[in-house]
Each structure stands twice: as structure tokens, then as C-alpha cells.
Amino acid sequence: MKWRRFNGEPIHLPIKEEVAGAIIRETKKGYHLKVCIGTDSQVKGIETEFATVIVFLREGHGGFMFIHNEKTKQSFTIRERMLVEVAKSIEIAYELCDLFNQFDVDMEVHADINTNPHFKSNEALREAMGYILGMGFAFKAKPEAFASSSCANKIVN
């Protein structure tokens, strides 16, 4: 899985090592961190592009993120695509959660799913929420899910 920084610089270390290094570096600087993980997708013709982000928030001092993109020609219903987004976020959250526990960093999984039933993505809300909470992670949906609906969204649009 290839990851990069927002400025396009590739990350050469395994993502777990890079995240550990970032946590150590930022906490040594005195920052209190919170991490939000989210995925968004965009259908472009026959391709669907997914962007997963790991957003590091420095309490009161901005933040930074690591980004992973992937494309597929597989077609999805809106519900399936929302659940694939959630699965991609959970995969990363699960891989990194022991680090967050070790360093006492709060982590949330953000789903780009609207809580308003008038939106199509709402079809997947209950399943996504159950999936995320069932894995033991904190859950946020729109409008609070900025990691997926703002950060990852900027990467795929």
C-alpha cells in the first residue's frame, strides 16, 4: 500500500512505522494529538477512486495527514460503495489501533455517510455505524466526519 503526504511526498516506511514516528515527533514537541481516519470515493466513468486519509490533529495547532489512493473498475451500488469506504478506514484503524493505545492517542473513524435520511448514502448508516462501533472504534458521520467528507473528499475530487 503506497502512502504519501499532502504535498505529494511519498512515504517509504511501512505506514505503521511512519505513524509511530509522527506520534513520537509530535508529542516530543508538546502537542496533544487526536487521529481521525476516513475514506471517500468518487465514480469517474467505469472507475471508482478511493482515498483514505489518516488525519493528525494537533490540539490548537492545526494538523497534517497521510494519504492513500486506489482505483478499481468494480461497480458498486451506493450502499456497497459506502460500506467499502468504511471497510478501508477500519482496515487502517485496526492496523494502527495498538499504536494509538500505546501512546494514548484518541482515534475516530469517520464515515462519509449522511445522517439525513433524504440522502442516498443514508442507506448504509446503520450498517456502517454498527461495523465501526462493533470494532470498538469511535464513530463520526456527516456533518462531523471531516476526515472523510472534507479531507479525503479533496483528494478524489
SS in 3 state form for 68-102?
EEEEECCCCCHHHHHHHHHHHHHHHHHHHHHHHHH
Number of domains in the chain: 1
CATH of the domain at 102: 3.30.420
One digit per residue, pLDDT tens: the chain, 157 residues? 899 999 999 999 999 999 999 999 999 999 999 999 999 999 999 999 999 999 999 999 999 999 999 999 999 999 899 999 999 999 999 999 999 999 999 999 999 988 888 888 888 898 999 999 999 999 999 989 999 999 998 898 7
What pTM, to 2 d.p., does this model score?
0.94
Nearest one of 127, 101, 122, 102 to 112, comparing CA atoms:
122
Q: What is the domain extent for residue 34? A: 3-156
Closest residue by Cα to residue 121 from 107, 98, 142, 105: 142
Identity of the amino acid at 29: K
Three-state secondary structure call for residue 108? strand
All cell numbers assigned to 96: 494502527
